[in-house]
């Protein structure tokens, strides 16, 4: 009797396990059944926001469900990342991560999440150079003139960023350490409010991403002195690199990647990756990216995971050398 009861119980458990296993793929196959949210960890109007809305619209059309952009600025992008890391791993809450998220582990003393453990790559969305900008009221027209001006006005030149640990912050600190200049960091809750103050002359300089900078450079409201990539950018004809301008070895590329909470079904992340790749091939998306100096991403999730690991190590070394920390 005992053996019979035991065999019956085991059979029931096995049947329940099979039923549960069969339900999980079905839920994944029916995805998406409701809107998908992409968390942008910076304020609206900045480069991350622009890129998220550009690809979100195209992905939504293909998925036949709205892709909603949810701006969660704060703590250099780590607040939004923390929200996604804790979200239900069902494919309905995603993060548009940036290079800032690989900078943060080397800057913040303690983070409520592990970027490389708690989030998984869906796909690389875009890459863009940063641009060294000065307010139009600044009496400088080259990197050499800017450095000379800063050295003659130590502690008087402010540079802005999208927040502590953001790409603008580390780019500015790298500039400071490599030039031996005394500049003051002024953090904001996103690139858009920072740019507003830069245009108004409330701060004097910034190392900002290309899409946010491009329209203001074209209008003459801001002056581009150099780009941060190893090669010149087609979006800024005639603008030299920082390396060419005398800061040898200076190189920063800002990138954006779509991430999902760890545990999201692989069938869902594969579908998201396929829809992202399709969106990045659309002519109007490519045209908009080109106008803003953005290159569409093309990297497998496995390669992206390794790239993120390498970037985290690299920026950890930079932040340690520059002595950058945040609470």
Residue 103 near residue 170 (C-beta atoms within 8 A): yes
Look at residue 145 and tell me if it is in a domain.
Answer: yes
Whether the per-residue pLDDT at 6 is higher than 90: the answer is: no
77 and 94 belong to one structural domain: yes
Residue 301, helix vs strand vs coil: helix
Look at residue 148 and tell me if it is in a domain.
Answer: yes
Q: CA of 248: how far to CAs of 24, 230, 232, 242, in Å?
A: 53, 10, 14, 7
- In DSSP terms, 210 is beta-bridged to none
Radius of gyration, CA atoms only, the chain: 23
Report the CATH number at residue 159.
3.40.190.10
Helices 47-63 and 191-200 meet at what angle, rounded to 10?
140
Which residue has 């002195």 as its token pair?
A: 225
64 and 209 belong to one structural domain: no
121 and 259 belong to one structural domain: yes
Whether the per-residue pLDDT at 143 is higher than 90: the answer is: yes
- The pLDDT tens digits of the residues spanning 201-220 come to 999 999 998 888 989 999 99
Say what the pTM is: 0.81
Whether the per-residue pLDDT at 306 is higher than 50: the answer is: yes
For 135, the token pair is 């307010």
147 and 118 belong to one structural domain: no
Q: What is the mean pLDDT of residues 196-203?
A: 97
Whether the per-residue pLDDT at 8 is higher than 50: the answer is: no
Q: CA of 148: how far to CAs of 74, 182, 265, in Å?
A: 34, 11, 55
- Domain span at 206: 129-227
Q: What is the mean pLDDT of residues 130-143?
A: 97
214 and 281 belong to one structural domain: no
Residue 151, helix vs strand vs coil: helix
Look at residue 52 and tell me if it is in a domain.
Answer: yes
Q: Which DSSP helix (H) or strand (E) runs through 13? A: helix 2-29
Per-residue DSSP letter, 239: P
Report the CATH number at residue 280.
3.40.190.150
Per-residue DSSP letter, 246: T
118 and 259 belong to one structural domain: yes
Number of domain units in the chain: 2
Whether the per-residue pLDDT at 276 is higher than 90: the answer is: yes
| Nearest by Cα to 171 from 277, 253, 278 | 253
Per-residue DSSP letter, 108: B
């Amino acid at each position: 009797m005992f053996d019979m009861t035991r065999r019956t119980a085991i059979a029931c458990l096995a049947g329940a396990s099979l039923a549960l296993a069969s339900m999980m793929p079905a839920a994944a196959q029916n995805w998406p059944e409701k809107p998908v949210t992409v968390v942008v960890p910076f304020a609206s109007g900045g480069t991350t926001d622009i890129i998220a809305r550009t690809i979100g619209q195209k992905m939504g059309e293909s998925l036949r469900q709205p892709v909603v952009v949810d701006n969660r600025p704060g703590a250099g992008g780590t607040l939004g990342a923390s929200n996604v890391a804790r979200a239900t791993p069902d494919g309905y809450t995603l993060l548009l991560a940036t290079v800032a998220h690989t900078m943060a582990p080397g800057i913040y003393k303690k983070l409520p999440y592990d970027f490389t453990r708690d989030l998984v790559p869906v796909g690389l969305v875009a890459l863009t150079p940063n641009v060294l900008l000065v307010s139009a009221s600044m009496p400088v027209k080259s990197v050499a003139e800017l450095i000379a001006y800063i050295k003659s006005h130590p502690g008087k030149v402010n540079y802005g960023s999208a927040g502590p640990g953001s790409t603008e912050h580390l780019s500015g600190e790298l500039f400071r350490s490599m030039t031996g200049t005394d500049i003051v960091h002024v953090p904001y809750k996103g690139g858009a409010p920072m740019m507003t103050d830069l245009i108004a002359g409330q701060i004097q300089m910034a190392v900002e991403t290309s899409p946010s900078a491009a329209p203001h450079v074209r209008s003459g409201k801001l002056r581009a002195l150099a780009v941060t990539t190893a090669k010149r950018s087609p979006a800024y004809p005639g603008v030299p690199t920082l390396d060419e301008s005398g800061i040898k070895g200076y190189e920063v590329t800002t990138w954006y990647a779509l991430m999902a909470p760890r545990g999201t079904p692989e069938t869902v992340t594969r579908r998201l990756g396929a829809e992202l790749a399709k969106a990045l091939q659309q002519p109007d998306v490519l045209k908009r990216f080109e106008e803003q100096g953005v290159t569409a991403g093309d990297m497998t999730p496995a390669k992206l995971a390794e790239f993120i690991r390498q970037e985290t190590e690299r920026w950890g070394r930079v932040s340690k050398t520059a002595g950058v920390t945040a609470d």
